């Protein structure tokens, strides 16, 4: 049963996020007064990329891509989708396990791309890792206070415990900080310094061609799924599968809309931003939780 659920996770993630990415392009275009591509454009792009003859920059390049995709797939398989019913592995959906398993994919991608031998990729990876240092800290503090509050790190249990009220409403500060961190995780503007196509030739992606591009796109799809699902599960109370999808879409659209009107942070600006107000709020939230001042 668990295996089917995990597979279902993957299927949902693939179609949901790939469509949402297309929709995002549409939304962004409309905000910028363009018409934009159709919502299924990303499916076309992906299959086009996968069907082309690619170039490989050595075995570590290939291995890195596989590790990245493998890590992202593994993480996506653990993620609960809104309730215990859609939790493939109720015994292992521990928050820290998910966060660190997620890092396998990131490390694989970073390693493969630096293995391409292109300095732009290295610069991109260095920025991506620095950005991780930025957004993860407030996020983890918020998550720690959530775990401390509910006395569990198991995601499906967190969903159950939110029956009385969404976590976003119980600790609004934490919810806001988590959302800001989510923007960084997704690499949405203003936090897309590691890609920065105009400056560093798309950074890590500089050497990607054909199926490598495609496979990493799939990896990205699963990553987005994991990141947003975590937010929805932990702060928006999950709910039935349908509700979960609705919440997922809303969070995504909100993130897209915010990002489409913002310029890009420089790397120091990004760090100073995250270690300023969001980190402060995260600690404030932790203090409130310690003192029992939750709504």
Partner 1 sequence: MALSTLLISLLVTSVIIYFVSKASWRVGAILNFLIGIFLISYVFALHTGTTSDLGTLFGQKLQLTWTNASFYFSAVSLMVIVSVMLFAIKWLDSQKYPAAFNMFLLMMTAGSLGVFMAADLVTLYIFWEIAVLSSMLIVPMGKKESRKAAVIYAVMSASGTYMYLYGAFLAFQRYGTLNISEIAKQMVSDPSTGIKAAIFLLLASAGIAKSGIFPLHTWLRIAHGNAPDAFSAVLSGQLVKLGSYVLMVTVAVIPSLRVFANIPFYSGIPATNYFLIALGATSIIVGTLMAIKQDDMKMLIAFSSVANGGYILIGIGTMDPMGFEGGVLHVFNHALAAAVIFMAFASVVYRTHTKKISELGGLIHKMPITFLAYLFAIISLAGIPPMSGFISKWMIYQALVRKGMFITAFIAFFGSIGSFLYVFRPLAGVFLGQLPKKYKDVKEVSPVMWIPMMILVVISLIIGIWPFPVLQPIESMRADFGIAPMVKISDPDHWLIRGFAGNWNPVLVFNLFLIGFIIAYILYTMFPRSKKVDLLAPHKEEGTPINIYTGGEYIYTPELYHYNTKFYAGFERMYEKHPSWEKVLGMLAKFFHDLGEWVHGWFFRPSPSAYAFWVSLTILIVFWVRW
Site for partner 1 in 45-74 (CB under 8 A): 50-58, 60, 62, 65-67, 69-74
Asked if 277 interacts with partner 1 (CB under 8 A), we say no
Which residues within the stretch 189-208 sit at the binding site for partner 1 (CB under 8 A)? 201, 206-207
Instruction: Compute the distance between CA of residue 239 and CA of residue 137 in angstroms, rounded to an integer.
Output: 28
Asked if 220 interacts with partner 1 (CB under 8 A), we say no
Per-position DSSP letters for 99-141, written without gaps between them: HHHHHHHHHHHHHHHHTTT-HHHHHHHHHHHHHHHHHHHHHHH
Which residues within the stretch 246-275 sit at the binding site for partner 1 (CB under 8 A)? 266-268, 271-272
Size of the site for partner 1 (CB under 8 A): 84
Binding partner 1 (rule: CB under 8 A), the pick from 147, 186, 221, 236 is: 147
Asked if 29 interacts with partner 1 (CB under 8 A), we say no
Closest residue by Cα to residue 125 from 196, 222, 54: 196
Closest distance to partner 1 from the beta carbon of 159 (Å) = 13
Please, is 201 exposed, middle or buried when counting C-beta atoms within 10 Å of its C-beta (0-12, 13-18, 19+)?
middle
Asked if 84 interacts with partner 1 (CB under 8 A), we say no
Asked if 284 interacts with partner 1 (CB under 8 A), we say no
Bridge partner list, 94: 154
- Site map 107..126 versus partner 1, x via CB under 8 A: x--xx--xxxxxxx-xx-xx
Closest distance to partner 1 from the beta carbon of 36 (Å) = 28
Closest distance to partner 1 from the beta carbon of 232 (Å) = 19
User: Which contacts of 44-48 are long-range, i.e. CB under 8 A and separated by 24 or more positions?
Assistant: 45/217, 46/18, 46/214, 46/217, 46/218, 47/214
DSSP state of 264: P
């Amino acid at each position: 049963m668990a295996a089917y659920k995990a597979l279902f996770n993957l299927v949902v993630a693939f179609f949901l996020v790939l469509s949402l990415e297309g929709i995002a392009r549409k939304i962004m275009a409309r905000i910028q007064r363009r018409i934009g591509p159709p919502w299924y454009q990303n499916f076309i792009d992906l299959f086009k990329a996968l069907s082309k003859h690619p170039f490989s920059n050595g075995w570590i390049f290939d291995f890195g891509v596989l590790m990245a995709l493998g890590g992202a797939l593994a993480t996506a398989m653990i993620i609960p989708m809104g309730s215990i019913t859609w939790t493939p592995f109720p015994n292992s959906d521990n928050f820290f396990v998910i966060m660190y398993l997620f890092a396998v994919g990131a490390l694989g991608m970073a390693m493969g791309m630096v293995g391409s031998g292109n300095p732009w990729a290295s610069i991109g990876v260095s920025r991506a890792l620095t950005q991780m240092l930025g957004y993860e800290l407030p996020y983890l503090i918020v998550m720690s206070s959530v775990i401390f509050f509910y006395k569990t790190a198991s995601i499906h249990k967190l969903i159950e415990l939110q029956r009385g009220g969404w976590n976003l409403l119980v600790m609004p500060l934490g919810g806001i900080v988590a959302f800001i961190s989510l923007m960084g995780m997704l690499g949405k503007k203003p936090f897309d310094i590691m890609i920065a196509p105009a400056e560093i030739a798309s950074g890590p992606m500089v050497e990607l061609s054909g199926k490598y591009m495609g496979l990493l796109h799939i990896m990205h799809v699963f990553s987005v799924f994991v990141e947003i699902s975590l937010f929805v599960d932990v702060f928006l109370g999950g709910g039935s599968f349908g509700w979960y999808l609705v919440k997922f879409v809303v969070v995504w659209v909100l993130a897209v809309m915010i990002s489409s009107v913002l310029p890009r942070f420089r790397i120091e600006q990004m760090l100073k931003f995250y270690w300023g107000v969001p980190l402060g709020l995260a600690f404030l939230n932790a203090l409130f939780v310690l003192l029992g001042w939750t709504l």
